[in-house]
Amino acid sequence: MPENVTAKPRNSPKRDHLLDTAFRLFYQDGYHAVGIDTILAEAKVAKMTLYNHFKSKDELIVAVLQRHRIAFTSKRDAILQDSKRSPLQKLDALFDMFTEWFNSEDFNGCINIRAVAEYPAPSSPINQTVKAAKQSTIDALETLCQELGANHPAELAKQLFLLTEGAIVHAHTFNDPTAALNAKTAALALANASTS
């Protein structure tokens, strides 16, 4: 018996290219604002190719978010799991990463936050994908707060998360990259108060 006869390849150049293009357009203009046809025209790919790889637009969006999560987690963990850095240095470097991001030319807020804004129904697979990604960041922050020796690591982690989420939203709204610096200052103060 032949294996995987009907299975669609999880890795394929066309699929990757579609995800790249879809990410760029969704991130630039939003999910509802960008139609399938626009993505296909920009990627120079036939419609049936897209629908062979993804069952629907919603599934494409989920795949875009999952792909972005992998890339972001990788950058984040390169900082948080760097044994050459002290916990405090990790915290510092983390917010520097945000500064760099906010200053990047195509920064346009958080693709996950914006996905929740457009798909607020908790039952939506898109919404659920976002929640999983965000929870992963909260968990990583809690680990860091434990390394910091915080009195209440989970509570401090959540506070730090509120600061990062707020910084992203503020930087996006006002095109103000310095929000990362403000958040860092606040984060260090909270961390300091929490390890006394």
Partner DNA sequence: AAACAAATAGACAGATCTGTCTATTTACCG
Partner DNA sequence: CGGTAAATAGACAGATCTGTCTATTTGTTT
Phi, psi of 55 (to 5 degrees): -70, -30
> Are residues 79 and 93 in contact, defined by beta-carbon separation less than 8 angstroms?
yes
> Are residues 43 and 17 in contact, defined by beta-carbon separation less than 8 angstroms?
yes
| CB 106 to a copy of itself: min, Å | 11
Residue 12: which of DNA, a copy of itself, none does it interact with, CB under 5 to 8 A by kind? DNA
Judged by CB under 7 A, the chain residues 50 through 89 that form the site for DNA are 51-53, 55-58
From candidates 1, 3, 11, 48, binder to DNA by CB under 7 A: 48
Number of chain positions touching DNA (CB under 7 A): 25
Candidates 1-9, 17-25, 92-100, 109-117; binding stretch for a copy of itself (CB under 8 A): 109-117
Residues, the chain, total?
Answer: 196
CA distances from 38 to 26, 106, 122, 134 (A): 10, 19, 28, 29
Residue 75: which of DNA, a copy of itself, none does it interact with, CB under 5 to 8 A by kind? none
Distant-in-sequence, close-in-space partners of 86: CB < 8 Å, separation ≥ 6: none
CA distances from 12 to 3, 8, 44, 52 (A): 18, 9, 15, 12
Strands (E), the chain: none
| CB 134 to a copy of itself: min, Å | 6
Q: Does 139 bind a copy of itself (CB under 8 A)?
A: no
The nearer residue to a copy of itself, 125 or 166, going by C-beta atoms, is 166
Residue with tokens 């929740």: 116
Q: Does 124 bind DNA (CB under 7 A)?
A: no
Residues near a copy of itself, by CB under 8 A: 28-30, 32-33, 108-109, 113-114, 116-120, 122, 130-131, 134-135, 155, 158-159, 161-167, 169-170, 172-175, 179, 182-183, 185-186, 189-190, 193
